[in-house]
Amino acid sequence: MKFKTRLRVTFITIIILPLVLTALAFFGIGSFLLYHPTQNIEITEIDYSLMSDGIQSYGQITEELYAQISEEIELHPEKAEDLEYLEAKNEAIGKRFSYLIVRKDDEIYYSGDSTAETIFNSLPEYEEEKQEDKIYYFNDVQRIVKQINFRFSDGSEGTLFIVTHIKSLISKTLLIDMIIAIVLILVFTSLMLTRWIHKGVFLPVNELNTAMQNIAEGNFEYRLSVEGKGEIGELYQNYEEMRLRLKESAEEKVQQEKQNRELISNISHDLKTPITAIKGYVEGIMDGVADTPEKMDKYIRTVYNKANDMDRLINELTIYSGINSNRIPYNFHRINVADYFKDCVEDVGLDLDSKNIELNYSNLVDPDVVVIADPEQMKRVINNIIGNSVKYMDKEHGVIDIRILDEIDSIRVEIEDNGKGIAAKDLPNIFERFYRTDSSRNSSKGGSGIGLSIVKKIVEDHGGYIWATSKEGEGTCMHFVLRKYSETKM
């Protein structure tokens, strides 16, 4: 529930609920007082307007009953001693909080209420003249008494009393009961709203506060169950999204630090090897070991090759930095596929000949096929793939095949070797940074472990994709696809 809705419900509840409960308490207490067992009055119809009237209203009721009964007895005196008439009349006036008492001499002839005996001795004496209304108090309950004097048929003195209860709700008992009821109602309303707000607002906020403290302490595993709607639900959802992002970021940071340490270790090892070789051969030249033109040429060529290895490692480190920051520099051009890959094959062919590796090249695309690519970066892709093939070549006579295939809207480049191959369990991971298969953990092989990840990044930045197939002991084939360039005709 939204906070605005919650505040509206709280406001309405604070106003409406106490009023409704107070009204119910008022009528409930009033009904209880009217039906109180000490009165022994059975009322079938209640006029609640009388509950707030004073003595004047009840005096008017008594006066009306008095006039009615007086007229009936004056016309028919025998009715005053007719028990059936008295019983019927008593039942009728009971609906108006009144009852009858008939006295014969000094004894009760008829009683319309069980409480008659408690007030009988206090009733006025028989008098021939009409008596004024009198008000009596019995057990803190007021009664108005009207009397009609008559003679029984045997000459005995008779008095018919009309007794009316004064049951105004504005009484001390009612006021005390209502004050207690209102206090209880307000306490109940406050507790209910406090519990509702505590459960709906304070508990979620406290739980979120605990969660944020865990985040501040680096605990990204503390989860909040996303429940409910409104601002609290959205807040929980935002926390969960933030927690997952922070957790992922922390894991990436740990992984990156691990990879950086591994890279530094690999680069340090790989740089140390050519530097040691360069120092050894230069010292040999300085000491005069290379005393023939053939030795001198060999030493200088070795120094040159080792310097190239160092340059390659530094370039890989530069490219790796570009991958991390997603800032590899590209200079895209339209290049002819046939001409470009022919030049690449010629460049790498000379080096492979010196290593006793046969290079085969076949181009099955049309001479005018063009792709959009960065020539330098694409050459890096080819050199890295061939470099890996050379590094792990385990045959005396190595073979590398380069094939350019036509696939309608794109071209597919295949570079296949007859080396040791890659295990099936390692094949899905070879394009990950710093991943090395078991067969490549030989320190003599060197390598930073980022060559194929650079290849994958460059190919994907060209809008293509790359994958590998391999069979242990037989060789590996790298496949990558580039989309053809076609001019849109107007």
Q: β-pairing, 357-363 with 333-336? A: unpaired
Backbone torsion region of residue 446, taken as left when φ is above 0, otherwise alpha when ψ lies between -120 and 50, otherwise beta: left
Confidence (pLDDT) at 5: 63
Q: Best-predicted range by mean pLDDT among 24-33, 55-64, 76-85? A: 76-85
Binned at pLDDT 50, 70 and 90, residue 45 comes out as very low
Q: What is the pLDDT of residue 187?
A: 77
d(CA 296, CA 274): 18
Per the model's pLDDT, the better-predicted residue between 134 and 275 turns out to be 275
Radius of gyration, alpha carbons of the chain: 55
424: left (phi over 0), alpha (psi -120 to 50) or beta: alpha
Cα distances (Å, whole numbers) of residue 264 to 116, 307, 447: 112, 19, 11
Q: Which residue has the higher pLDDT, 217 or 413?
A: 413
Mean pLDDT (whole number) for 35-42: 41
pLDDT at 465: 93
Give residue 174's identity as a one-letter amino acid code.
Answer: L
Whether the predicted pLDDT of 335 surpasses 90: yes
* pLDDT bracket for residue 436 (50, 70, 90): low
Residue 159, judged by CB atoms within 10 A of its CB (0-12, 13-18, 19+), counts as buried
What is the pLDDT, as a whole number, of residue 363? 93
Other beta carbons within 10 angstroms of residue 422's beta carbon come to 21
Q: Identify whether the C-beta of residue 338 lies closer than 8 Å to the C-beta of residue 406.
A: no
Task: Answer yes or no: is pLDDT of 233 > 70.
Answer: yes
CB count within 10 Å of CB 290 equals 18
| Mean pLDDT score across all residues of the chain | 78
Mean pLDDT of 135-140: 49
> Can you list the domains of the chain with their CATH numbers?
54-167 (3.30.450), 332-483 (3.30.565.10)
Report the greatest alpha carbon distance in the chain.
Answer: 174
Express each pLDDT in 235-289 by its tens digit. 777 878 888 888 888 888 887 787 677 767 767 777 777 888 888 888 888 888 8
**DSSP bridge pairs for 415:** 402, 478
Identify the band that residue 8 occupies on the pLDDT scale cut at 50, 70 and 90: low
pLDDT at 369: 93
> In whole angstroms, how far apart are CA 437 and each of 342, 431, 442?
32, 11, 10
Which 3-state string (H, E, C) describes the chain?
CCHHHHHHHHHHHHHHHHHHHHHHHHHHHHHHHHCCCCCCCCCCCCCHHHHHCCHHHHHHHHHHHHHHHHHHHHHCHHHHHCHHHHHHHHHHHHHHCEEEEEEECCEEEEECCCCHHHHHCCCCCCCCCCCCCEEEEECCEEEEEEEEEEECCCCCEEEEEEEEEECCCCCHHHHHHHHHHHHHHHHHHHHHHHHHHHHHHHHHHHHHHHHHHHHHCCCCCCCCCCCCCHHHHHHHHHHHHHHHHHHHHHHHHHHHHHHHHHHHHHHHHHHHHHHHHHHHHHHHHHCCCCCCHHHHHHHHHHHHHHHHHHHHHHHHHHHHHHHHHCCCCCCCEEEEHHHHHHHHHHHHHHHHHHCCEEEEEEECCCCCCEEEECHHHHHHHHHHHHHHHHHCCCCCCEEEEEEEEEECCEEEEEEEECCCCCCCCCHHHCCCCCCCCHHHCCCCCCCCCCHHHHHHHHHHHCCCEEEEEEECCCEEEEEEEEEECCCCCC
Closest CA to 388 of 319, 437, 339: 437
With cut-offs at 50, 70 and 90, classify the pLDDT of residue 476: very high
User: Would the pLDDT of 441 be above 60?
Assistant: no
| Per-residue pLDDT band at 20 (split at 50, 70, 90) | confident
- Residue 53 predicted with pLDDT over 80: no
Contacts of 100 (CB under 8 A, 6+ apart): 86, 89, 90, 93, 110, 112, 160, 161, 162, 163
pLDDT, residue 47, reads 45
Query: Which pLDDT band, with edges at 50, 70 and 90, does 443 fall under?
Result: very low
Structure tokens at 316: 């890989």
Average pLDDT estimate for 315-330: 70
d(CA 434, CA 449): 4
Residue 70 structure tokens = 């007086």
pLDDT for residue 52 is more than 50: no
pLDDT of residue 33: 56
Q: What is the pLDDT of residues 162-212, one digit of tens each?
A: 888 775 445 556 667 777 777 777 777 777 777 777 676 767 777 778 888
pLDDT band with cut points at 50, 70 and 90 for residue 50: very low
Tell me: pLDDT of 324 over 80.
no
The residue-averaged pLDDT of 10-39 equals: 65
Say which residue, 380 or 190, is predicted with more confidence: 380
Instruction: For the chain, give the number of residues.
Output: 490
Phi, psi of 16 (to 5 degrees): -75, -50
pLDDT level of residue 410 (50, 70, 90 thresholds): very high
